[in-house]
């Protein structure tokens, strides 16, 4: 079963001090993509944050070192883990990081 689509994820309400220091990460999926793209800091299950073709999905994380995992839809539309990347968010309190999925090849 595919995960729920998160076109734009509204951040949960946190206390002012926590809310101001979280880092927002957004994944942009181009309009000419071959399917949905997803990301998460968890690897064990399907991603919680999924961007359909031409959309963006966003999430908020602690400003620490994170391992991001990325999924893309295969030919049947199922999301498959594709790659991972370390992202050091230390000293990035309150910032926005936008990741653009460039192509599917």
pTM to 2 decimals?
A: 0.81
What is the residue whose two structure tokens read 């653009």? 100
pLDDT value for 16: 59
Give the confidence band of 103 by pLDDT, cuts at 50, 70, 90: confident
Going from N- to C-terminal start, the domains of the chain cover: 16-100
- Span 19-58, pLDDT tens digits: 788 999 999 999 999 999 999 999 999 999 999 999 999 9
Residue 7 pLDDT > 60 = no
Sorted by sequence, the CB contacts under 8 Å of residue 87 that are 6+ apart come out as: 25, 65, 66, 67, 68, 97
**CB 100, CB 28: distance < 8 Å:** yes
Q: What is the mean pLDDT of residues 77-91?
A: 96
CATH architecture of 16-100: Sandwich (2.60)
The pLDDT mean for the chain works out to 87
């Amino acid at each position: 079963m595919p995960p729920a689509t998160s076109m734009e994820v509204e951040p949960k309400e946190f206390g002012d001090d926590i809310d101001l220091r979280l880092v927002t990460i957004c994944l942009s999926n181009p309009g000419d993509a071959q399917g949905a793209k997803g990301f998460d800091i968890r690897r064990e299950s399907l991603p919680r944050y999924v961007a359909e073709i031409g959309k963006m999905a966003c999430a908020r994380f602690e400003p620490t070192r994170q391992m991001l995992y990325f999924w893309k839809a295969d030919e049947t539309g199922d999301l498959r883990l594709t790659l991972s990347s370390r992202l050091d968010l230390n000293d990035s309190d309150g910032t926005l990081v936008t990741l653009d999925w460039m192509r599917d090849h």
